[in-house]
């Protein structure tokens, strides 16, 4: 694997896609924007023109020096050579928007990291590999619905903005992309007594997609008898599959188990 490929570097070359991303972000002159992975700066320079300031976090040192040169006349851009996964977002004093064409290989962990920092974030316009975008926005009862859909939608409103074909990038990637908006919720979608327990139950419910909910939950070492009580009290069928449950169904299960 070449040095560049390892950072998931597929650069946007289609100006019309860049324009649409900037429009979707509806940035005002008071906004601070964080861009993860500015690459060669195609989005960065446009973001600079519409915002108060841009904080661009790029892991590749060589790209950082290229950007320092290329963007030196833009006074409101700070280029930070850091890993977006370990960067301390508390260093940014004000709340901010995030705009990014995410590196595919890290898009899920970066999304989780951003969601951890949700109180600091106004909203995010993010480009993902299409399959990942589809999983994030999926509704119950669909093949894409799973742990990622529940974890993100519990914390944020999600909305697909556009599909982007492979030809918009250089080098051309193997997969298609989609841009979605993720807006952190002030309060989670449903009330959950113990979030760790809730996430554990969600994860276990999707662990083996062909298994029933009951069989998946048995892996958490609950007895048959106890699970019988859980299903009865929450009015959920033990034969259902995880992907048929809404986020509030999962919350009902977790809250009942917590109360025992």
Q: Which chain residues interact with ligand SAM by CB under 6 A?
A: 7-12, 36-40, 42-43, 57-60, 63, 83-85, 101, 103, 106
With tokens 């709340």, the residue in question is 95
Give the residue with the Cβ less far from ligand SAM, 46 or 241. 46
| Environment class of 81 (CB within 10 Å of its CB; exposed 0-12, middle 13-18, buried 19+) | middle
Taking the C-alpha atoms of residue 188 and residue 203, their distance in angstroms, rounded to an integer, is 18
Task: Name the residue with the smallest CB distance to ligand SAM.
Answer: 37
Nearest approach in angstroms of CB 78 to ligand SAM is: 14
Nearest approach in angstroms of CB 76 to ligand SAM is: 17
Nearest approach in angstroms of CB 107 to ligand SAM is: 9
Give the residue with the Cβ less far from ligand SAM, 9 or 32. 9
With tokens 């320092």, the residue in question is 68
CB 87 within 8 A of CB 109: no
Give the residue with the Cβ less far from ligand SAM, 47 or 227. 47
Alpha-carbon separation of residue 235 from 62, 131, 193, 228, 260 (angstroms)? 57, 32, 19, 11, 16
∠ CA(143), CA(144), CA(147), 5° rounding? 115
Give the residue with the Cβ less far from ligand SAM, 4 or 185. 4
Query: Beta partners for 162?
Result: 179
Give the residue with the Cβ less far from ligand SAM, 63 or 253. 63
Give the residue with the Cβ less far from ligand SAM, 129 or 255. 129
Nearest approach in angstroms of CB 44 to ligand SAM is: 7
| Other beta carbons within 10 Å of 239 | 10
Nearest approach in angstroms of CB 160 to ligand SAM is: 18
Nearest approach in angstroms of CB 13 to ligand SAM is: 8
Query: For 84, which DSSP code?
Result: T
Positive/negative CA dihedral, 193, 194, 197, 202: positive
Report residue 2 as tokens: 């070449």
Taking the C-alpha atoms of residue 81 and residue 65, their distance in angstroms, rounded to an integer, is 9
């Amino acid at each position: 694997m070449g040095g560049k490929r390892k950072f998931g570097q597929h650069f946007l070359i289609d100006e019309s896609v860049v324009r649409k991303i900037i429009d979707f972000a509806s940035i005002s002159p008071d906004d601070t924007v964080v861009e993860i992975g500015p690459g060669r700066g195609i989005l960065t320079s446009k973001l600079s023109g519409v915002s108060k300031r841009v904080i661009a976090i790029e892991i590749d040192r060589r790209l950082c020096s290229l950007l320092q040169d290329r963007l030196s006349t833009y006074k409101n851009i700070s280029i930070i050579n850091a890993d977006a996964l370990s960067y301390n977002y508390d260093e940014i004093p004000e709340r901010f928007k995030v705009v990014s064409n995410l590196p595919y290989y890290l898009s899920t962990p970066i999304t989780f990291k951003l969601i951890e920092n949700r109180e600091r974030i106004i909203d995010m316009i993010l480009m993902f590999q299409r399959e990942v975008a589809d999983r994030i926005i999926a509704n119950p009862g669909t093949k894409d619905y799973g742990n990622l859909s529940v974890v993100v939608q519990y914390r944020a409103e999600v909305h697909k903005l556009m599909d982007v074909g492979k030809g918009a990038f250089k080098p051309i990637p193997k997969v298609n992309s989609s841009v979605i908006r993720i807006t952190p919720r002030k309060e989670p979608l449903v009330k959950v007594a113990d979030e760790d327990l809730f996430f554990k139950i969600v994860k276990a419910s999707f662990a083996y997609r062909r298994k029933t909910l009951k069989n998946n939950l048995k892996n958490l070492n609950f007895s048959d008898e106890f699970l019988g009580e859980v299903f009865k009290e929450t009015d959920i069928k033990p034969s259902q599959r995880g992907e048929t449950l809404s986020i509030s169904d999962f919350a009902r299960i977790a809250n009942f188990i917590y109360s025992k």
